[in-house]
Chain A
């Protein structure tokens, strides 16, 4: 019983903590991630430029970098090809 109450209290405090984080910092974290994602997209574009017909890096270096890029390809494709409009810039 006491443990359950403790858990409940912990749950409430955790909820308050998360709420404050949501008010104060969640947006900052999202924008930081967005900035990072933009940089990663640039990196992918540089690495894979020759595959898209834009010879940016010599293929040797592209191939050396490829293992670091491969895990990102699926999300990169989704972000690039998803339909967007300018309301996306708001939130």
Chain B
């Protein structure tokens, strides 16, 4: 199949999903009313609750949810063939993804902007709140581990990436200084700092890391994991305007330009898929069901989106009717990003064996090669294109990584601050989070780490859909459109997590894991997977009881039969 046909099918699904299905749910089921006061208006404090234009929120939501996951997932999942991966991206986004993102924004909007903790307390049970928050903590640990592994792989695999990353950081720091200290014009600041970052991408190709620090350090996972975590340490403890935000600001232009010219490149080259449409049901990393459904997380559906929608977007939507373009619309855009990644993986290699050799080294090389090819169509030299692709991936991963570490610092302080005041210290909280992440990065094999992350992410989505279903039941509204996706996601993700945890732990107990590193990595990942499954099952039982209560109330309220 031709790649342009895939993009066109994507646009058709986008159109049908957004203009037909989402519109029907929004107008007929949820009855979004632009005149109804939203939390942003009712509780406006100029900070968290603030009516904001839907166009701004569209950009904000896109930036917050489009990390490395929609790119990596399809690149890995194409091992089962491009057809199942494409169908899951399209159907997942059409029937589950947008439903999840949209409802995760709309339900908190109708509940005074409450976050998930408050919603689970109110709609399910007090116990559910504590379990859900613990679940989220471990889910984010896996996010940090998986994304940290991507950063380390990119830094060790693409020798031009470290220099580009360094200059991007310098550009970002300069942006912070120029905007907040020197009060310089934003356009001047942007031009100067983005130019520094772009210069870094070129400079990385002439000054690769192995020529500067030697091959030993350039290939050391440990060194680059420490570098990544030091980077995140600064992001977590320095004032946010000084480090994290200006770097993200400059980085967003790198990603934006790369995507824009990459998609133009796809249309110019319009290559055919060279990999098979379907390979087999069982491959090295597992079965098509359930494993492929968690390998592609973002792009089809992602629990991370619900946290962004509920805690961030829901408090800024000016009108209820904006939830559809912001929640649903952005999800479909992310589906298109997933399709773009699928096209990269499916079209740039001449044969399956070439792809197999490339993916064995990690998805970063595949992505960088694809970006290089499609940016080459608009005139960028191949070496710079590869450098650009690797930096894009580092940027996509590190943006989420630093946010998650910062968040885990806050969570450690809140969860353990009562045990000892030392946990309230910012440096101690960051250090604890980073040690956990470091262990995962150094000991976990990236494919299993990715599967666990995907499983936890999708399970989080299932939990969010459970909250939405409970809300719909409590309001007496039709709930099938969230209930069935929730059941599907719950069964699939629990099966995937149990399967992955079993494979990890069985390697420990049967002696398959020989080195200390493998034993620690498999045990840690397996136990985290089991914890998530247990927490999810307890939550599901609590949720089921809540559903029963709502059904009983509905039955009592119904008029008696004659």
Contact = CB atoms under 8 A, between A and B. Distances in A.
Interface of A: 14-15, 18-28, 30-37, 75, 78-79, 82-91
A87 B47 contact: no
B410 interface: yes
A31 B415 CA distance: 23
B59 A20 contact: yes
Contacts, number: 127
Interface of B: 43-48, 50, 52-53, 55-64, 114-118, 129, 133, 136-137, 186, 239-241, 245-246, 248-249, 252-253, 256, 307-308, 310-313, 403, 406-407, 410-411, 414-415
Which 3 A/B pairs are nearest by Cβ-Cβ distance? A22-B59, A91-B312, A85-B117
A39 B310 CA distance: 25
B182 to A, nearest CB: 16
Contacts of B48: 30, 34, 79, 88
A22 B57 contact: yes
Given A22-B57, A23-B59, A28-B249, 16 more contacts: A14-B55, A19-B56, A21-B56, A22-B59, A25-B186, A27-B63, A28-B245, A34-B47, A35-B240, A78-B43, A85-B129, A89-B406, A89-B411, A90-B307, A90-B312, A91-B64
B55 A35 contact: no
Nearest to A21: B56
B114 A83 contact: yes
B407 A37 contact: no
A35 B59 contact: no
A35 B239 contact: yes
A85 B117 CA distance: 6
Nearest to A75: B45
A22 B63 contact: yes
A89 B407 contact: yes
B62 A23 contact: yes
Nearest to B312: A91
B307 A32 contact: no
Given A35-B240, A86-B133, A88-B115, A27 B60 contact: yes
A27 B56 CA distance: 10
B149 to A, nearest CB: 21
Given A31-B245, A89-B411, A91-B307, A23 B256 contact: yes
B241 A31 contact: yes
A88 B311 CA distance: 6
14 contacts: A18-B56, A19-B58, A21-B56, A22-B55, A22-B58, A24-B63, A24-B252, A27-B60, A75-B45, A83-B118, A85-B117, A88-B115, A90-B307, A90-B311
A18 B62 CA distance: 13
B519 to A, nearest CB: 32
A86 to B, nearest CB: 4
Contacts of A26: 52, 56-57, 59-60
B41 to A, nearest CB: 13
Which of the listed residues B59, B252, B406 has the most CB atoms from chain A within 10 Å of its own CB? B59
A33 B52 CA distance: 14
Contact of A32 (B64, B186, B241): B241
A86 B411 contact: yes
Contacts of A20: 59, 256
Contacts of B129: 85
A88 B314 CA distance: 12
Contacts of A19: 55-56, 58-59
A27 B59 CA distance: 10
B116 A85 contact: yes
A86 B56 CA distance: 25
Nearest to B57: A22
B270 to A, nearest CB: 26
A75 B46 contact: yes
B115 A25 contact: no
Contact of B308 (A25, A35, A90): A90
Nearest to A36: B47
Nearest to A79: B45
Contact of A87 (B52, B56, B62, B310): B310
Contacts of A89: 406-407, 410-411
B407 to A, nearest CB: 5
Nearest to B55: A18
Contacts of B136: 86-87
Nearest to B56: A22
Nearest to B256: A23
Contacts of B61: 22
Contacts of B43: 78, 82
Given A30-B47, A86-B410, A91 B311 contact: yes
A34 B45 CA distance: 10
Which of the listed residues B61, B63, B239, B415 has the most CB atoms from chain A within 10 Å of its own CB? B63
